[in-house]
Amino acid sequence: MSRLLVTGGAGFIGSNFVHHVLGNTGHSVTVLDKLTYAGNLHSLDGLDPARFTFVQGDIADAELVDGLFADHDAVVHYAAESHNDNSLNDPRPFLDTNIIGTYTLLEAARKHGTRFHHISTDEVYGDLELDDPERFTENTPYNPSSPYSSTKAGSDLLVRAWVRSFGVQATITNCSNNYGPYQHVEKFIPRQITNVLRGERPKLYGKGENVRDWIHADDHSAAVLTVLDKGVIGETYLIGADGEKTNKDVVEEILEYLGQPRDAYDLVTDRAGHDLRYAIDSTKLRTELGWAPRFSDFSAGLANTIDWYRENEAWWAPSKAGVEEFYAAKGQ
């Protein structure tokens, strides 16, 4: 039984991990989260107060972080500014949280000898051509495109340096695009679902040809727990569930499930520097640590996700108008 500190645990994937840990292990969890626009305490509703504590604060606050590391056995680091479109608008918070915040945590891990797991993204590898037979592996060179992905790449490199130079007990995972309940409506799938639920048309960037490799957030959480338990210190593991889809395919599925014509979407201004395709080869994680995804049927997972947004408007409605104003100002 361990005491886990989870940074960014009020966000989409972090909150999924907290529910997963409390439901499947005997560990206790403390969440450290700044509650930016992306954090939502309701994503943590229903947790056992005997095993769960919430602390509001910034991962770049060295004094706060030092005290928390002293009281925990392991840290799982999800906190980040996570949205590419925001990073194109105002990169600064991405540097503060993703770089300085991660640095602050690593210094505490170094001082206290704390086991540290760093959550990262496949976007650090840049993008692939649509017809490239190769997928990303742990050996693919870093080549990030956006302010978001370059700060995540920077944070990964800090972790690697702190392992090698200071002996920090860290592992890294780089995961593909997550979907599931509790994802902020700024992101692609929730934005399109909630548009259709509100009687608005989905908005596809460019021609909708870009490909993302979708994984259910529950599968991501199970993979992270596997690496925390069995991962080799200093190693990186890629997490993916063979879920490649064009954005257009995803939008058409959402429209069809909600009883609309499959072509009832708008093509809008493309994202600057828009990565074409991501694709993960997760052989290392599967063969060396024995993880496998449980959600192999994307359509079924998407249908469950659509149902969740239909039934939980109170969770997402407060963010919807502001998000749409942001996009409208950019012609998106």
- Summarize as ranges the residues that interact with ligand NAD (CB under 6 A): 7-8, 10-14, 33-36, 38-39, 58-60, 78-82, 97, 101, 119, 121, 152, 175, 177-178, 184
CB 135 within 8 A of CB 128: yes
Q: Of residues 271-290, which lie at the interface with ligand DAU (CB under 6 A)?
A: 271, 278
Minimum distance, C-beta of residue 43 to ligand NAD, in the bound complex (Å): 8
Q: According to the binding rule CB under 6 A, does residue 177 interact with ligand DAU?
A: yes
Q: What is the DSSP letter of 330?
A: T
- Closer residue to ligand NAD, CB minimum distance, 204 or 224: 224
Token code pair at residue 100: 């300085």
Secondary structure E strands in 47-124: 52-56, 74-77, 115-121
CB 115 within 8 A of CB 74: yes
Q: Which of 58, 122, 186, 213 is catalytic?
A: 122
First-last CA distance in the chain: 47
Which neighbouring-strand residues pair with 4? 29, 74
- Closer residue to ligand NAD, CB minimum distance, 125 or 265: 125
- Closer residue to ligand NAD, CB minimum distance, 122 or 253: 122
- Closer residue to ligand NAD, CB minimum distance, 242 or 260: 242
The SS3 of residue 25 is coil
- Closer residue to ligand DAU, CB minimum distance, 66 or 209: 209
Options 34, 110, 212, 320; binder of ligand DAU; rule CB under 6 A: 212
Q: According to the binding rule CB under 6 A, does residue 82 interact with ligand DAU?
A: yes
- In whole angstroms, what is the distance from residue 174 CA to residue 240 CA? 9
Options 114, 226, 247, 305; binder of ligand DAU; rule CB under 6 A: 247
- In whole angstroms, what is the distance from residue 183 CA to residue 180 CA? 7
Catalytic residue check, 122: yes
CB 120 within 8 A of CB 173: yes
Q: Which of 33, 58, 85, 123 is catalytic?
A: 123
Residue 317 interacts with which of ligand NAD, ligand DAU, none, CB < 5 to 8 Å by class:
none
Residue 240 interacts with which of ligand DAU, ligand NAD, none, CB < 5 to 8 Å by class:
none
Q: According to the binding rule CB under 6 A, does residue 252 interact with ligand DAU?
A: no
- In whole angstroms, what is the distance from residue 289 CA to residue 300 CA? 27
Catalytic residue check, 237: no
Minimum distance, C-beta of residue 263 to ligand NAD, in the bound complex (Å): 27
Residue 35 interacts with which of ligand NAD, ligand DAU, none, CB < 5 to 8 Å by class:
ligand NAD
Q: Which of 33, 81, 127, 148 is catalytic?
A: 148
- Closer residue to ligand DAU, CB minimum distance, 21 or 124: 124
The SS3 of residue 63 is helix
Contacts of 284 (CB under 8 A, 6+ apart): 137, 138, 237, 238
- Closer residue to ligand NAD, CB minimum distance, 105 or 204: 105
Q: According to the binding rule CB under 6 A, does residue 121 interact with ligand DAU?
A: yes
Number of Cβ within a 10 Å radius of residue 63:
9
Options 84, 114, 150, 226; binder of ligand DAU; rule CB under 6 A: 84
Torsion of CA 326, 218, 234, 128, to 10 degrees: -60
- In whole angstroms, what is the distance from residue 327 CA to residue 299 CA? 27
Query: Burial of 311 by CB count in 10 Å (0-12 exposed, 13-18 middle, 19+ buried)?
Result: exposed
CB 122 within 8 A of CB 178: no
Q: According to the binding rule CB under 6 A, does residue 135 interact with ligand DAU?
A: no
CB 80 within 8 A of CB 60: no
Catalytic residue check, 123: yes
- State the residues that interact with ligand DAU by CB under 6 A: 82-84, 121-123, 176-177, 187-188, 191, 203-205, 210, 212, 247, 271, 278
Catalytic residues: 122-123, 148
